[in-house]
Structure 1
Amino acid sequence: MNDRKSLQRALDTRLYLLLYGISNAAPCGKPVWHFPEKVYDSEETLRKCAESALAFVLGDLSHTYFVGNAPMGHMVIQQMENVPEPFKRFFFKSQVIDTNKFNIQKCEDFVWVTKDELLEYFPEQAEFFKKLIIS
């Protein structure tokens, strides 16, 4: 049925969680599609920061598993009108374990997308995601 709100829509394919709402690098504070994110504050490690970002929207992380302690990649976000300095956005890989439903909160909307559908949401970063996730 291609229900992008369901984890059961593409059982043999990895799915990626995207949120619709205000992002740290959203132009003019407008809602955009983005991955769960958080500005690094005072966490012990980048992984702890990534866990905190995911916990913010999922609440309970008991059905998630972070693959490793290091980010799987990063991109540099250049200066924008609402972001005075360039910054790095780090990506961590995590997996859903033993559940098919989450109570996703703190965003206007969400979708679970396949790697091919991911490019529909981020056409301007297609080359980056092709290298990071798809290849």
Structure 2
Amino acid sequence: MDAHLITKIVHMSAVSLLILVFVARAATLFIGVQGQQPNINSRKSLVGLQHLSLTLIIVTGAVLLFMKNFVVEPWFYAKVILFFVLWSSMSKTYKQDSNVLLVQRRAGLLISTVALIGILGLVMIKPVFA
């Protein structure tokens, strides 16, 4: 196999891992909530897996971008913006701060969900802007 295909497989595997971790962390906002904080029983492992998947996505995405000589489709820029929205809202949703209400965390989860679905939709549809 060539390097481009291997990098693409790692990239998509990291996205799959992110989706699994996203769902698992979202469950902590609804199951076993303690006060205004999410369930903390499996926090460290979920945070580690989330950081691993996001790091792999960023690194392999940059490598793929380099392999394509930075030639991208116009929808790529929307995907990058949505990725930053996803990243930002997830960091604010799960921030360890007792001042953040549970309803605010769930609203952040909604924003993250919309951003993730938007990214997946862009990748699947690959719209053409003419």
- Fold in common (TM above 0.5): no
Asked which structure has the greater CA Rg, the reply is: 2
| TM-score with structure 1 setting the length | 0.25
Which protein has the bigger helix share? 2
Instruction: Normalising by structure 2, report the TM-score.
Output: 0.26
